[in-house]
Amino acid sequence: MTTHLPTNALADTDVNPAHEIVDQHTTDCCIVGGGPAGVVLAFLLARQGISVMLLEAHKDFDRDFRGDTIHPSVMQIMEELNLSDRLLQLPHAKMRQIQVKTPQDTVTLADFSHLKTNYPYITMLPQVKFLEFITQEAQQYPNFQLVMGANVQELITEDGVVKGVRYRGGGGWHEVRAMLTVGADGRHSKLRQMGEFASIETSPPMDILWFRLPRHPEEFDGGMGRFAPGHIVAMLDRGTEWQIAYVIPKGGYQKLRTAGLEELKKSIVEVVPELSDRLYTLQDWSQVAFLSVESSRVKQWYRPGLLLIGDAAHIMSPVGGVGINYAIQDAVVAANVLSQPLQNRQVKLSDLAKVQRQRELPTRIIQAFQTFIQKRVFAPVLSANQTFQPPALLRLPILRDLPARLIALGVFPVHVK
CA separation (Å) from 177 to 30, 47, 144, 210, 392?
Answer: 8, 21, 15, 39, 54
Q: 238 and 285, same structural domain?
A: yes
Residue 94 lies in a domain: no
- The CATH number given to whatever domain includes residue 258 is 3.30.70
- Which H helix or E strand runs over 253? helix 253-259
Domain-embedded: residue 251: yes
Produce one character per residue of 357-373: b if its CB has 16 or more CB atoms within 10 Å, e if not. ebbbebbeebbebbbeb
Regarding whether 158 and 220 lie in a shared domain, the answer is: no
Write down the pLDDT at residue 230: 79
Tell me which residue of 145, 100, 91, 83 sits closest to 389, measured CA to CA: 100
Q: In this structure, are 28 and 162 located in the same domain? A: yes
Same domain, 318 and 401: yes
Whether 188 and 254 map to the same domain: the answer is no
Q: What CA–CA distance (Å, rounded) separates 320 from 63?
A: 20
Q: Which residues contact 30 (CB under 8 A, 6 or more apart)?
A: 52, 53, 55, 164, 165, 176, 177, 178, 180, 181, 182
Q: Are residues 319 and 347 in the same domain?
A: yes
Q: Are 394 and 400 in contact (CB under 8 A)?
A: yes
pLDDT at 255: 86
Which among 163, 182, 173 has a CA at the least distance from the CA of 53?
182
Determine the pLDDT at residue 10: 36
Dist CA 272 CA 280 (whole Å) = 15
Whether residue 48 is found in the same domain as residue 135? yes
Is residue 10 included in any domain, yes or no?
A: yes
Is 51 among the domain residues?
yes
Note whether 17 and 44 are same-domain residues: yes
What is the DSSP code (8-state) at residue 305?
T
Residue 80 lies in a domain: no
Same domain? For 27 and 174 the reply is yes
Q: Give the pLDDT confidence score for residue 321 in this predicted structure.
A: 86
Let me know if residue 173 belongs to a domain: yes
Per-residue pLDDT of the chain (417 residues; tens, 9 = 90+): 666 664 443 333 344 445 688 889 999 999 999 999 999 999 999 999 999 999 999 998 887 656 788 999 999 999 999 999 999 999 998 888 888 877 777 777 788 988 889 999 999 998 999 999 999 999 999 999 999 999 999 999 999 999 999 999 877 899 999 999 999 999 999 999 999 999 888 776 678 899 999 999 888 777 788 888 777 898 988 888 898 999 888 778 888 889 999 999 998 998 899 999 999 999 999 999 888 877 899 999 999 999 999 999 999 988 888 999 999 999 999 999 999 999 999 999 999 999 999 999 999 999 998 888 888 778 777 776 666 666 665 566 556 678 888 889 988 889 999
Q: Are residues 149 and 286 in the same domain?
A: no
Q: Based on the domain organization, do 305 and 375 belong to the same domain?
A: yes
Q: Would residue 416 count as lying in a domain?
A: no
Query: Residue 43 half-sphere exposure, CB side, CA atoms within 13 Å?
Result: 27
- The Cα–Cα gap between 310 and 39 comes to 11
Amino acid occupying residue 196: E
Q: Is residue 121 part of a domain?
A: no
**Of 375, 376, 378, 372, residue with least CA distance to 406:** 372
Among 335, 318, 337, 341, which residue's Cα sits nearest to residue 407? 318
- Split into its structural domains, the chain has a count of 2
**Cα within 13 Å of Cα(46), Cβ side:** 26
Q: 246, 268, 293 — which closes off a domain?
A: 293
User: Cα(152)–Cα(149) distance, rounded to whole angstroms?
Assistant: 9
CA distance 138 to 1: 9
Please give the order of strands across the beta sheet that includes 69-70: 69-70, 122-124, 93-95
Which of 212, 180, 220, 164 minimizes the C-alpha distance to 25? Answer: 164
Q: What is the CATH number of the domain that holds 29?
A: 3.50.50.60
Report yes or no: 166 and 147 within 8 Å, Cβ to Cβ.
Answer: no
Containing structural domain, residue 210: 206-293
> HSE-up of 407 (CA within 13 Å, CB side)?
27
Q: What is the pTM of this model?
A: 0.90
303 and 401, same domain (yes or no): yes
